[in-house]
Each structure stands twice: as C-alpha cells, then as structure tokens.
Amino acid sequence: MTTPNSWTIKAARAALRKGEISAVDLTMSCLTAMDAGDGLNAFVHKTPQIALEQARAADARLKAGDAPAMCGIPLGIKDVFCTKGVPSQAASNILRGFKPEYESTVTTKLFEAGAVMLGKLNMDEFAMGSSNESSCYGPAVSPWKIDARQLTAGGSSGGSAAAVAADLCLAATGTDTGGSIRQPAAFTGIVGIKPTYGRVSRWGVIAYASSLDQAGPMTKSVRDAAIFLQAMSGHDAKDSTSADLPVPDFEAALTGDIRGKRIGIPRECRLDGIPAEIDALWQKGMEMLRDAGAEIVDISLPHTKYALPAYYVIAPAEASSNLARYDGVRYGHRAKLSQGDGITEMYEKTRAEGFGPEVQRRIMIGTYVLSAGFYDAYYNRARKVRALIKRDFEQAFAAGIDCILTPTTPSSAFGLGEMGSTDPVEMYLNDVFTITVNLAGLPGVAVPVGLDHKGLPLGLQLIGRPWEEGDLLNHAYVLERAAGFVSKPEKWW
C-alpha cells in the first residue's frame, strides 16, 4: 500500500476527482512526510497553515465541479520564488527576514489553479551552485544513500529534487540557469524540464542571470511534468521577456508515437574521460528511441566546447548587475555599523556578511569582465560565442532534427564536500551537458533511465526545438516508458 504523498499528480488528480481522498487528507499525508523528512533539509520554511487553508478551498472547488488539473495537488516551492507574506530568501543571508508583499506570477498561476503550497524549498544561494552547498541553510541531502556518506541532491534546485524523490510532496517548482532543474533531477531519479526561455514568466523570481533563468517543474513522471508545465506557462505582461504565445495542451501531446522522428546525437558530447557507464546509458537511450521508430542521426554542434567558458562569463556578469540591488538599504540584512562608518562602509559590511563565498566569487568575476578594458575581451566575446552556439542548434533543427539526445550529467551524485572544495572549476564542469540549452534558450528535459554500478540514478537529456515542449515531452515519454525506471531510494532519513 502506498501512502498518498508518494502518488503522482496524475494519480492524485484521479483520486481527488473521484472523491476517493480529500485535498486536506492528501495535504496531511505530505505534511507528515515533510516532518519525518527533516533530515534531508529540503524544506527551509514550512507553511502548514497556508497549505491546509488552500486544501480546504480546493476541496470546495472539487465538490463544485470546478477542478483544474492541479486542484488540490500539494507542492514544494523553491525559495527563489517570491511568495506573499512567506520568507523568500533565495537561501541567502542577505535576504534573511524578507517577506514579499507580492506573489510571483508562477505561484499566482498555481494557486489560481488550486494547488497547495507546503512550504519553501532549499537551494544554492541565489541559484549559484551545482550541489546545494552554498545555501545559508546548509545543503539539502539526497534521499539516495549508498554508504555512510551523505550525497548531494544537486543544485541549484537541490531541495526541490530531494523533496520530490523522497515523496515529501507530489511535485516542486525549480529554476534552471545552467542546468539547475535537469542536473538535480538526474541525480535523484526524477523528471525535470527547463522550458523554452520566455515560456514561463520570470516575474517575482529572484534573479541570478536574467537572460538565462527559466522556471520549470520537477516531478515523478513525464506526464506530471506536462500537467504541471501547463499550469505554469503563459504570457505575462509584467515580464518583458515573456512570450505572447498560446500554451499548447502538453499532456495531450503524449501520444507515445515518435515514428519517423530524427534524433540528433552530437559528437561533441563524446567527451574524453566520460565514464563508461554514462556512455553505455547514452547508447541504450539511442537504442530505445530507435526501437520506438525514430531515426538516430550523428550531428555536430561545433561550438559546444566553448560553452562552459562563455557561460561562466555571461552568468556572473549578469549576476554582478542583478545583485547590486542588495545593499542593506531597502530590505533584507543590514550590517551593524561602527561609530564613524558611512554609507560606503554599510554597503561593504552588509554585502560581505550577507553574501556567501560562491556568490562573492561570481560577483567579482562578473564585475571584472564588465569593467573598462575587459568588456570586449571577455563579455562581448562570450556573447558572440553564445550566438554561435544558438546558430549550431538552429542549423541542426533546420536540417530536419526533431530532438537531440545527450547525457544529463557526467556522473551520478557525488558526496557532499567532495567536489569543488579546492578548485571551483571542478564543480562548474558538472554543467557541461546542460548549459548549451540555456545559452540557446531551448527546452530541455532530464529523464531517469537507469542506475550506475553504485545503485545511484543516471539520467539522459532530450533537447527540443524552441516552443515545442509538447513534442519534447512526447519523446521523453517514450524514453521513460522504454526505460521503465521505477527505482526509489530506501528510506533512511
């Protein structure tokens, strides 16, 4: 017998509509699991009163026959989304105590659809990280365990990944700037999709790198991702980068038929030193898609090798600009000043105390590459590389490629404290397969496909045409069904 907190959105939707369970009882199941899962450090602000109030309202809508797909579904919300009256800190000390007076567009849409907010989820500080270790709350911990070590749940949406994988909630919101939905999804054996840039509003999402950030769902299945993405998507006049396009029925696109589709395999992703089991999984993914009737085609994305350095110029540059607003004057943390300190000292002390080491590192990198004398040498050059990377994808799709298949990560989850402690670049290399998708503004989805020799999840990534999330999810649906991944972590927390 499974407990309701372990259900998929699809299963819960059916049970709620049939009256087999109430939204209040479903929410209580998740609240109980959340309390039992405190050892994972996934939830950093619990909101049980709000959750039960929203669940009661959802029950009323269900009784009245007014039940959108997400009505009564208990969710975790990443701490980067502003939620009215609820701490929204982006896991940073500089925003300690900040409670917005407004609601992000994404959470507004979800609440209008009847969803239930269980609380706010852990993350890397300002979404800068690949392991959740830069969080001011301490890292979220993966529910997967192979020995005495605690494993990373990935980053920056590590709390979201841990909560979904451990069945603390039915699904969670994430954000993806360079892989921050897809990498933690792969590490924890769940599904995560980064939509096309502009598909989901960024209004009310605390910014890291504005031309790269995109919100998306983290779920237990591809169908759940389609249902969830439908509720999150749509044009928003408050976000100048939001696309004024109709939102397709993503769930209806899951036909399971990809016969005649052409799947691109980029030769540039065949990296030296890639673990044999990652390569074997990739080959297995190709076979599964071929068996489903797709054609596997070798392609070239020649500028992929420049993606990492370009990303780690552009993203810190945008972060340097975005994070200049945190100065201790208007909201958040303000340092205690000594006698004689002026406004400059207040800025310096506040930012030194409020920002963690990784955020400070990226601000300094960004400020440097934007400075006079280096702007053209670094930032402008990185922007040109970005344009070339985007063109590579455009040419592949113009040549008839429908979808691109790659690994999601170069390894399974690593132990907390084991990577990047002496060389931050070691951690940055985790993004090698994911950042091109952000630089090109494309949709990408991570699907769990198997386990490595240690028994830890491994995922594959599918990259789609812009605005074709429905087709992308259909490919992911085929891959998911063929892989038959049903493994769950053994409960230890």
DSSP track, 179-240: STTHHHHHHHT-EEEEPPTTSS--TTBPPS-TTT-EEEEEESSHHHHHHHHHHH-S--TT-T
Strands (E), 80-206: 116-121, 171-176, 191-194
Report CA 58 to chain centroid distance, whole Å.
26
CA distances to 4, 31, 38, 56, 433 from 49, rounded to whole Å, are 19, 10, 18, 11, 41
**Residue at token pair 């990408």:** 444
Token output for 121: 């989820």
109 and 68 in contact (C-beta within 8 Å)? Answer: no
d(CA 200, CA 153): 24
Side-by-side strand order, sheet with 262-266: 43-46, 116-121, 74-78, 171-176, 214-219, 191-194, 444-451, 457-464, 403-407, 262-266, 295-299
Number of Cβ within 10 Å of residue 325's Cβ equals: 11
Q: Which helix (H) or strand (E) holds 264?
A: strand 262-266
440 and 388 in contact (C-beta within 8 Å)? Answer: no
468 and 443 in contact (C-beta within 8 Å)? Answer: yes
pLDDT tens sequence for the chain (493 residues): 689 999 999 999 999 999 999 999 999 999 999 999 999 999 999 999 999 999 999 999 999 998 999 999 999 999 999 999 999 999 999 999 999 999 999 999 999 999 999 999 999 999 999 999 999 999 999 999 988 899 999 999 999 999 999 999 999 999 999 999 999 999 999 999 999 999 999 999 999 999 999 999 999 999 999 999 999 999 999 999 999 999 999 999 999 999 999 999 999 999 888 899 999 999 999 999 999 999 999 999 999 999 999 999 999 999 999 999 999 888 889 999 998 889 999 999 999 999 999 999 999 999 999 998 899 999 999 999 999 999 999 999 999 999 999 999 999 999 999 987 777 778 888 899 999 999 999 999 999 999 999 999 999 999 999 999 999 999 999 999 999 999 999 999 9
Number of Cβ within 10 Å of residue 337's Cβ equals: 14
Residues belonging to the active site: 78, 156, 180
54 and 103 in contact (C-beta within 8 Å)? Answer: no
293 and 402 in contact (C-beta within 8 Å)? Answer: no
- pLDDT for position 1: 62
Handedness of CA 127, 130, 132, 136 (dihedral sign): negative
Cα–Cα–Cα angle for 435, 208, 142, nearest 5°? 65
d(CA 418, CA 130): 12
179 and 428 in contact (C-beta within 8 Å)? Answer: no
Q: Which helix (H) or strand (E) holds 328?
A: none
d(CA 298, CA 444): 19
- 156 prior amide bond cis, ω within 30: yes
d(CA 70, CA 114): 6
Q: Which helix (H) or strand (E) holds 404?
A: strand 403-407
Token output for 371: 């400075």
Token output for 138: 């301490």
Per residue in 37-80, pLDDT tens?
Answer: 999 999 999 999 999 999 999 999 999 998 999 999 999 999 99
Token output for 438: 């952000």
CA distances to 114, 213, 421, 462 from 54, rounded to whole Å, are 7, 28, 42, 35
CB-facing half-sphere around the CA of 298: CA atoms within 13 A: 3
Of 285, 287, 293, 291, the residue nearest 259 (C-alpha)? 293
Token output for 257: 């038929």
Report CA 13 to chain centroid distance, whole Å.
23
Residues whose CB is less than 8 angstroms from the CB of residue 284 and which lie 6 or more positions away in sequence, other chains included:
449, 450
